[in-house]
Amino acid sequence: MTILYLLIPLSLVLLGLAVWAFFWAVSNDQFEDLESPAHRILFDDDLPAPPTRRRPDATEEPPP
Amino acid sequence: MSAPCYHCGTPVPDGAPWRIVIDETPEPLCCPGCEAVAHAIVEGGLANYYRYRTELSPRPAADEARPQTWAAFDHPDLQAQFVHTGNGQASATLAVENITCAACAWLIEHHLNALAGITQSAVNLAEHRLRVSWDPAVLSPSRLFAELAAIGYDALPFEPDSAYRRQQREERMTVRRLIVAAVGMMQVVMFSIPLYVAGPGELDAGMDALFHWLSLALTTPVVLFSARPFFREAGRALVHRRLTMEVPVALAIGGAYLASLYAVVTRQGEVYFDSIAMFTFFLLFSRYLEARTRRRSGQSGNALAGALPAAALRLDADGGEQVVPASHLKRGDRILVKPGASVPADGVIEQGESSLDESMLTGEHLPVTRRAGERVTGASQNMENALTVRVTQAGGEATISAILDVTDRAFAARPALARLAERMAHRFVLRLLLVSLLVALAWSVIDPGRTFWVTLSVLVVTCPCALALAAPTALAAGHGQLKRRGVLITRADALEALAGITHVVFDKTGTLTRGEMRLTATVAIDDALEPPRARAIAAALEAHSEHPIATAFRPFRTPALAAERVARHPGFGLEASLEGATWRLGRASFAAGRALTPPEGPGLWLLLSEDGIPRAWFALEDFPREDALEAVDRLKTQGLCVELLSGDTVPAVERLAETLGISRWQAEATPEGKLDRLRALQAEGARVLMVGDGINDVPVLAGADVAIAMNGATDLARTRADALLLSPRLMRVSEAVEIARATRQVMRQNMAWSVAYNAVALPLAALGLVAPWLAALGMSLSSLVVVGNALRLTRRRVNP
């Protein structure tokens, strides 16, 4: 059972890291919008769609 | 009618020429507005939007004055209020209207990201907001608004007000507290399991002490950080000599913690660390859920909402025009109000003659005619001709501010709601404390050594965990269910108030009706002109007008007919030449040159004449919403009295009341008159739900027990309402009442359960028969029952 004297402090360190990571996420707006990302992945950008763009500003676009 | 419009779903008029080709299939469209938007979407390569969407798109607004409003957003003073610049990048948050489903977010982001100069755009679906950053050297803000409008979305700048910022800060703090409580709870429970399962003597003393000290160390941040709001609120309640649910919660957490601390230090007695951590976590979590479902959406919380409604065209002394924000106008300024624009301030017409739509202010659905020398009111809409107006009252002095004054008074006098949970809490807490005191007294006589521990176990076992969770979990579930159905509750106790209402009062224009005119009948006078052709000619005459009458003819427009030399005669009608003849459309006295009796039937009758010869009659009406009748019927079967209060004329209101089967109605009511009627109802003991949209409804909305604003409501009406409809469906009102009642039911069940549990547990604890692990188990189980019961609310099916 003496291994517990090592494992418990170890788990406490991990705990501290977890709390720190969560706090970091909160201050970086990760919890602001919990709805949109769930929907966003549902839309597939690779689906075939008419590729032509006839908008006048299309030509002004700088090359990527 | 043929197939519905591919874009917005409204019926397409026969022979309409508007089409969009998708996958080589031509799809019908209902109007030029939908056509423009659909083409912008498809030609931008975003036709997949139609595949992804789960809701129909709203019909785009046809408002020619909007570019002027956008131009005002380029004004440096205004830009400074909502555009943030840094590193050569500009960024802003916009409140976007008309977002109906997740595909809208996809469409907006892809459309904007394809523009030169846009670096990033992200739509927040929960709050209907768009965060966008761009290169100010390439794009101006007005372009953003124009691009959003091109794909059918209206947007306004968003800048959080102080209340919104505070709410955001608090929410972040709650998440942090929740995380600490969750992590602490998991670990403390882990350390306490050996203490529960180990038999006597199985755990050596060192290990036992280690687990105790570890639990103490992990529970301390939970109590001091996570549970802090409970202590603060309990303290505040005691200062005001009230007993709220937080008092026993704080007492239980604090008492159990101090006792456990004492037990650890002196190595005698019981520890309750796991119960403390679990209890704190459950309570925080249910409160967080409830707060999240009430998060504001769209414009609410926007510090700019009041300042932005309009841009004004100010005329300089030398006749030049200058776009300025309406808030910059001063008394004596001369402004030009173009057709389609809203009047930015109160004033007197110097030049021009036009009809003005004052429905938002008065509820009257027909525009009124104003000539030079007559007064115009800010927030009314100019329909026909350009007007030059000298400003007499701007900003705080304007009529609209006077309505706000009445509103503030109504708001202050709003009936106070005795909240069910709070009342229960007060009684319950009082009894609990009395019983604990009695138990302590009794044990101090029987066995002074056990007094402290027995009293504590009474406090813990009866710990009002279930009772404290009873209301917030039910409310969270109810709010969530309503939000999914398109009703957003913005005031905390609105759901409880909604469950107890007895009367529903509706506004007419824009609430029960769509607020737009529709052609209901065409009567040809002789055989010279067939009704379809008459409609097409009338549509050609009205083609370039923003008048509500013109919108009624819009679906009948045919590209082959074009009117020339259109002359408008505000208040009478218009005249134009078409295919060699002079046509007039309007009042009979104007069109035919003499008074004629229109055919029998309801509505507003217009006469079409060819070279002075009467040809056809048209009847126009402001139509009730599709589900108005159904919604009124349902509300009645729910046992509610339905009333109609409108500022519109008697015949119009009477007819609508008759159609919908509303027996009690009042027409030509001023904002004050509406409030008086509300007061009279409330004096009779009625609890009133008001549903409205216009500025003239704002005082009543503020004074009602519960107020619901329509989705098209003015910002002013939204800020005074307790709930917003996110879609223009009136059935949502009756559903909201139904869900509110179900929520109240669940709340009562939960409270009954927790009171019953306490009634059983209390005597046992008082007799000193409850071991700490049993107390913790009982507490957790009773909480789970309460949470599970509340979750039943979320399983109700959503009707389309």
Domain end call among B333, B368, B397: B397
Establish if B211 belongs to a structural domain: no
> B279 with B37: CB under 8 angstroms?
no
List of chain B residues whose C-beta atoms are within 8 Å of the C-beta of residue A18: 183
Angle in degrees, 0-180, between the axes of helices B162-197 and B205-221, rounded to the nearest 10: 170
* Residues in contact with B593: Cβ distance below 8 Å, sequence separation at least 6, in sequence order: B612
Please report the pLDDT score of residue B786 as a whole number: 82
In this predicted complex, what is the ipTM?
Answer: 0.73
DSSP state of B116: T
Which positions in chain A touch B43 (Cβ < 8 Å)? 50, 52-55
Task: Verify that B72 and B34 share a domain, yes or no.
Answer: no
Fill in the amino acid letter for A55: R
C-beta neighbour count of B774 within 10 angstroms: 15
A10 to chain B, minimum CA–CA distance in Å? Answer: 13
Please give the residue range of the domain that contains residue B377: 311-397
Domain boundary among B159, B194, B210: B159
**Number of domains forming the structure of chain B:** 3
Q: Is the domain of B43 the same as that of B72?
A: no
Mean pLDDT score, B351-380: 79
Phi-psi bin for B207: left (phi > 0), alpha (psi -120 to 50), beta? alpha
Q: Considering the domain boundaries, does residue B799 fall inside one?
A: no
Side-chain half-sphere CA neighbours of B775 within 13 A:
32
Is residue B492's pLDDT more than 60?
A: yes
Distance, C-alpha B620 to centroid of its chain: 31
Give the gap in angstroms from C-alpha A57 to the nearest C-alpha of chain B: 7
> Which has more pLDDT, B363 or B333?
B333
Q: Is B172 on the interface with A (CB under 8 A)?
A: yes
- Banded model confidence at residue B2, pLDDT cuts 50, 70, 90: low
Per residue in B350-365, pLDDT tens? 888 888 877 767 766 6
- As beta bridge partners, residue B606 has B618
Burial of B517 (0-12, 13-18, 19+ CB in 10 A): buried
Q: Alpha-carbon distance B664 to B661, whole Å?
A: 9
**Strand ranges across the sheet with B613-624:** B513-524, B613-624, B604-610, B581-586, B573-578, B564-569
The partner residue sitting opposite A19, judged by closest CB among B44, B52, B180, is B180
Same domain, B42 and B85: no
Question: Least CA distance to A23: which residue of chain B?
Answer: B176
**Poorest-pLDDT segment among B142-151, B213-222, B419-428:** B419-428
CB B373 within 8 A of CB B388: no
Asked whether residue B286 carries a pLDDT value surpassing 70, the answer given is yes
Q: What is the DSSP letter of B511?
A: I
Tokens of B590: 């104007």
pLDDT band for position B221 (50/70/90)?
A: very high
- Of B721, B728, B63, whose CA–CA distance to B357 is shortest? B63
**Do B52 and A43 lie within an 8 Å CB cutoff?**
yes
Using CA atoms of B223, B225, B229, B230 in order, give the dihedral in degrees to the nearest 10. Answer: 0
**Residue B415, pLDDT score:** 56
Q: What would the mean pLDDT of B100-114 be, rounded to a whole number?
A: 85
Tell me if B467 sits within 8 A of B282, measured CB to CB.
no
Cα-flanking dihedrals φ and ψ of residue B334, to 5°?
-105, 130
Q: CA B350 → CA A58, B341, B361, B457, distances in Å?
A: 45, 17, 22, 81
B80 belongs to a structural domain? yes
* Cα B57 to Cα B41: distance, rounded to the nearest angstrom: 12
Interatomic CA distance for residues B119 and B100, integer angstroms: 25
State residue B184's pLDDT score: 93
CA gap B286, B84 in Å, rounded: 36
Do B7 and B70 lie in one domain? The reply is no
Strand partners of residue B327: none
Buried b (16+ CB within 10 A) or exposed e, B533-566: ebbbbbbbbbbebbbbbbbbbbbbbbeebebeeb
Same domain, B75 and B117: yes
Q: Greater confidence, B407 or A58?
A: B407
Intra-chain end-to-end CA distance of chain A, in Å: 61
Residues B75 and B17 grouped into a single domain: no
* Domain boundary residue, one of B11, B27, B51: B51
Instruction: Kindly give, in sequence order, each residue whose CB lies less than 8 Å from that of residue B743, ignoring residues fewer than 6 positions away.
Output: B474, B475, B477, B478, B495, B499, B793
Residues of B in contact with A51 (CB under 8 A): 45
- Rounded Cα distance, B414 and B702, in Å: 7
Q: For every residue of B137-194, which 3-state class applies, written as one string?
A: CCCCHHHHHHHHHHCCCCEEEECECHHHHHHHHHHHHHHHHHHHHHHHHHHHHHHHHH
Q: Are B260 and B222 in contact (CB under 8 A)?
A: no
Are B72 and B28 part of one and the same domain?
Answer: no
Domain assignment present for residue B180? The answer is: no
- Which of the two residues, B621 and B161, has the higher pLDDT score? B621
Sign of CA dihedral B712, B718, B721, B724: positive
Give the confidence band of A54 by pLDDT, cuts at 50, 70, 90: very low
Closest by CA position to B103, among listed B40, B31, B151: B151
Could you say which DSSP state residue B225 is in?
I
State residue B796's pLDDT score: 67
Contact at CB, B183 and A18, closer than 8 angstroms = yes
Q: What is the CATH number of the domain that holds B73?
A: 3.30.70.100
Asked if residue B121 and residue B77 are part of one domain, the reply reads: yes
Is B350 inside a domain boundary?
A: yes
- 4-63 in A: which are within 8 Å (CB) of B? 4, 8, 11-12, 15, 18-19, 22-23, 26-27, 31-36, 39-40, 42-43, 45, 47, 49-55, 57, 60-62
d(CA B375, CA B684): 39
Does the structure show a pLDDT above 80 at B462? no
Closest-CA distance, A14 to chain B, in angstroms, reads 11
Q: Does residue B519 register a pLDDT over 50?
A: yes
Per the CB < 8 Å rule, is A43 touching B106? Answer: yes
Residue B695 lies in a domain: no
Whether B86 maps to a domain, the answer reads: yes
Q: Are B175 and A39 inside 8 Å of each other by CB? A: no
CB atoms within 10 A of CB B611: 11
Q: What is the CATH number of the domain that holds B379?
A: 2.70.150.10
Q: Which of A35, A47, A53 sits opposite B48 (nearest CB)?
A: A47
Q: Give the total residue count for chain A.
A: 64
d(CA B118, CA B735) in angstroms, rounded, equals 42
Do B43 and B74 lie in one domain? The reply is no
Greater confidence (B790 vs A18) lies with A18
Identify whether residues B79 and B10 lie together within a single domain. no
Cβ neighbors of B136 (< 8 A, separation 6 or more) are B83, B85, B88, B89, B90
B residues 21..50 contacting A (CB < 8 A): 40, 42-48
Q: What six digits make up the tokens of B58?
A: 């709203």
Catalytic residues of B: 507
Listed in sequence order, the residues at least 6 apart from B755 whose beta carbon sits closer than 8 Å to its beta carbon are B428, B467
Nearest to A53 among B43, B124, B176 (CB): B43
Chain B: give the shortest CA distance to residue A23, in Å: 6
Which tens digits make up the pLDDT trace of B198-209? 777 777 878 888
The nearest alpha carbon in chain B to A42 belongs to B52
The mean pLDDT value of chain B amounts to 80
Residues B44 and B76 in one domain: no
Within a domain: B570? no
pTM exceeds 0.95, yes or no: no
Q: d(Cα B113, Cα B119) in Å, to the nearest integer?
A: 7
- Give the integer Cα–Cα distance in Å for B663 and B15: 40
B177 to chain A: closest CA residue: A23
- Which residues sit opposite B567 in a β-bridge? B575
Q: Which of B683, B678, B688 lies closest to B708, judged by CA?
A: B688
